[in-house]
Structure 1
Amino acid sequence: MTSPRKVAFASVFSSACIHRRMRGALSYADSHRGVVIRDFRVPLDMASRTGPIPEVNALTAWKPDGILSFMDNRDFDSLLERVENPVPIVSMAAVNPHPGVVLVGGSMPKMLEMGIQHFRQQGLRMVAMLIFDDDPAVQENCVRVFAAISKISDPSLAVHIEPVSSESLADLDKSVEPVPPGLADWLTRLPKPAGVMTVAYGGGNYLVRACHALGLRVPEDIAVICADDVDLCLCSSPTLTSVEAASEIIGFEAMKILDRMM
């Protein structure tokens, strides 16, 4: 009997978005015999640890034939460093290029286009984007795409970059005070009412809490659109509008590609 092809599903979060992508991958496995998927949650602070990480050790000890991942650049790079035997990998998050790693994800330009269109349907003339990523290449790409789609005349005002760690964005109970000075100044200077988009995981909730801390009304002063799934959107007060990628389809297609690579 042929041994099953073992796939490790690795991520740092447990959220509706992750569950949908896992469900998509499992849907593929259910219709293609011989694929076994096991879920591994690695720590959010994995990149800052120097010693052994039990969760990663468990993943490598299982000896998967392939890995599906959903994590940011820093955590993904840390995982690659700790996986001793290279295997095919498909990332469902936008990470920097690596040999043998395939990216499968939603279209950021399409998400931004839908969000901007929604803002303008609401009569908002000022649309802006808040970028939390600390990777210069990601920052440059986000600014370029947003400027092209929104056709803004003053990118220096319409786009703000405020690097915030994934741990802080994902912790919905963590205080945002004091609000970073650069972010506080930018939100205060934006012509009101304004619509602000962010595509970082947990970024919408963080932005709403920052507005509250600055005495800005949401959505009367700052309307917010994020890219999170329903669980994070409902945790916000007020609840958030979101342009979310088709996670189940992404999971299914990612697993299909990984199966071909194994």
Structure 2
Amino acid sequence: MAGLTHGVVISSAMAPHRIALLFNANKVYDRQVIAGIGHYLNSTRVEWDLFMEEDFRSRMRDIGQFRGDGVIADFDDPEAHETLVDLHIPVVAVGGSYHDPANYPDEVPYIATDNARLIRLAYDHLIEQGLTRFAFYGLPPHPTSRWAHEREHAFRAIVAEESVEGLVYQGSPTSAGGWGQAVEELVTWLAELPKPIGIVAVTDARARQLLQACVMGGIAVPEQIAIVGIDNDPMAQLLTRIPLTSVIQGAEEMGRTAAHLLHQMLRGMDCAGTRVLVPPVGINVQASSKFHPIRSPHVMRASHYIRQYGCLGIKTEQVADYVGVSRTVLEEHFKRELKQTVHQVILTHKLDTACDLIANSDVPLADIALRCGFTSLQYMYAVFRREYDCTPRQYLDLHRKTAAT
């Protein structure tokens, strides 16, 4: 009997569609798009047999021979457009938005991240912090980074419209061989900028480079340079001592929308020419952009040091040594400028970090105490009771109740 396998009848009508997802899963943006596709499949009765290339570098190889039913692909890669445009199965494109409509492909439906709104959200946040000077750290021109130049174009358009100074630095490509020189050039650029200034980085990866360069150049973040990235990449947060403010793209919504469109196309709907612009989700505000003016250079330098090492058990004497003044002089500047002692500022930093980890992670409380520089979990409990009149566990319960309302 046709379709009989091991006594089970396989109905061709019930066979799942074979769908290729052509993305670079090494990148947080691509992974979020893929997650959105997965969420769509899990929330519907759609059954797809998904193909994903294990090595993203060869994801276009032999795609012309793919015996499948549809494709969702990252069209920020020009090779995707060139390879898939003549594929005789439904294709949905995902990529960056363009200020010139002629840059969109005509042949396929296109789901785009709203680059202009990403930059506007970052810029408006810096405005809200009281900054009046702005800069943009982008990428050098390359066919695979057209999205980056759209973000640069959006930044230039905003500062031109609002008649404010907006400096742009594209820097060098990231490579192991040229990394030393690239960082030196970045430190030089940052040192020459008028300050205070807010910088929008084209990605979190570039924002992390800014933070590294500021540490190397002894430039206080955010008192002298406030930084906002794009992607809300957890890896970037792990690799920086100063928590990074970042705009959250609507990448998962892009994935859900792309899956929905392909689903409709597989059912016979004509979606050619469809354009969907997906706005950002919001902004994750962290220490890198929380600018507040400080007049004392000693307090500015000390605050920068505390943000980097405050959870590593540093004492007031170490901060004073870093600043290059006596403990007495530093304490006088802190009391005059912040109305707090150096120890109180260090403790506040540790508590703020602990509260963030308690509220936004699954890290055990004992590990949080260690990470935040408390000598023991019991001591962290004692400090919480003294400062907040509650335990860390009660703080977590209160946060969950607040989030649920």
TM-score (norm 2): 0.51
What is the alpha-carbon distance in structure 2 between the residues aligned to residue 189 and residue 41 of structure 1? 44
Q: Does 1:35 align with 2:48?
A: yes
What is the alpha-carbon distance in structure 1 between the residues aligned to residue 114 and residue 72 of structure 2? 19
How big is each residue's C-alpha offset from its partner over 1:127-175, in whole Å with a ceiling of 9 and x where there is no partner? 22112151486566434421333424344xx22223525xx4xxxx998
- Please, which of 147, 154, 159 is the counterpart of residue 156 of structure 2? 147
Cα 1:124–1:70 shift into 2, 3 Å: same
What is the alpha-carbon distance in structure 2 between the residues aligned to residue 65 and residue 22 of structure 1? 18
Residue pair 1:17, 1:229 contacting (<8 A) in 2 also: no
How far the C-alpha of 1:255 sits from its partner, in A, is: 1.2
What is the alpha-carbon distance in structure 2 between the residues aligned to residue 238 and residue 100 of structure 1? 45
Corresponding residue of 1:117: 124
Cα 1:121–1:41 shift into 2, 3 Å: farther
Corresponding residue of 2:113: 106
Residue pair 1:132, 1:200 contacting (<8 A) in 2 also: no
Structure 1, 103-112 or 129-138: larger mean CA deviation = 129-138
Structure 1, 115-124 or 85-94: larger mean CA deviation = 85-94
Corresponding residue of 1:49: none
Corresponding residue of 1:10: 22
How far the C-alpha of 1:116 sits from its partner, in A, is: 1.4
Q: Match of 1:103, as an amino acid?
A: Y
Residue pair 1:6, 1:64 contacting (<8 A) in 2 also: yes
What is the alpha-carbon distance in structure 1 between the residues aligned to residue 149 and residue 249 of structure 2? 21
Q: Secondary structure at the match of 1:93?
A: strand
Q: Match of 1:110, as an amino acid?
A: R
Q: Which structure's residues are more often helix, by fraction?
A: 2
How far the C-alpha of 1:229 sits from its partner, in A, is: 2.5
What is the alpha-carbon distance in structure 1 between the residues aligned to residue 247 and residue 177 of structure 2? 24
Q: Does 1:94 align with 2:96?
A: yes
Runs of 4+ in 1 over 6 A off after TM superposition: none
Q: Match of 2:254, as an amino acid?
A: I
How big is each residue's C-alpha offset from its partner over 1:86-131, in whole Å with a ceiling of 9 and x where there is no partner? 1443333228533434331322222222211211222222122112
- Stretches of structure 1 that go unaligned for 5 or more consecutive residues are 47-52
Residue pair 2:113, 2:254 contacting (<8 A) in 1 also: yes
Larger RCO (CA under 8 A, 6+ residues apart): 1
What is the alpha-carbon distance in structure 1 between the residues aligned to residue 25 and residue 45 of structure 2? 27
Identity level (%) = 21
Structure 1, 227-236 or 112-121: larger mean CA deviation = 227-236
Q: Match of 2:33, as an amino acid?
A: R
Q: Secondary structure at the match of 2:22?
A: strand
Mapping of residues 1-262 of structure 1, within 5 Å: 1-2=12-13, 3-30=15-42, 31-43=44-56, 46=57, 53=58, 55-57=59-61, 62-70=66-74, 72=76, 76-80=77-81, 86=87, 87-94=89-96, 97-135=104-142, 141-150=150-159, 151-155=162-166, 158-162=167-171, 164=173, 168=175, 176-179=179-182, 183-200=186-203, 202-235=205-238, 236-262=240-266
Q: Secondary structure at the match of 2:52?
A: strand
How far the C-alpha of 1:81 sits from its partner, in A, is: 5.1
Q: Match of 2:168, as an amino acid?
A: V
Q: Secondary structure at the match of 1:6?
A: strand
What is the alpha-carbon distance in structure 1 between the residues aligned to residue 54 and residue 75 of structure 2? 10
Corresponding residue of 2:323: none
How big is each residue's C-alpha offset from its partner over 1:209-254, in whole Å with a ceiling of 9 and x where there is no partner? 2333444333332221111234133122312111111222111001
Residue pair 2:96, 2:115 contacting (<8 A) in 1 also: no
What is the alpha-carbon distance in structure 2 between the residues aligned to residue 26 and residue 189 of structure 1? 46
What is the alpha-carbon distance in structure 1 between the residues aligned to residue 209 and residue 36 of structure 2? 28
What is the alpha-carbon distance in structure 2 between the residues aligned to residue 109 and residue 233 of structure 1? 23
How far the C-alpha of 1:201 sits from its partner, in A, is: 5.9
Corresponding residue of 2:379: none
TM-score (norm 1): 0.75
Cα 1:7–1:202 shift into 2, 3 Å: farther
Indicate the RMSD between aligned Cα atoms, in angstroms: 3.3
How far the C-alpha of 1:184 sits from its partner, in A, is: 4.4
- Stretches of structure 2 that go unaligned for 5 or more consecutive residues are 1-11, 98-102, 267-405
What is the alpha-carbon distance in structure 2 between the residues aligned to residue 161 and residue 105 of structure 1? 23
Residue pair 2:136, 2:155 contacting (<8 A) in 1 also: yes
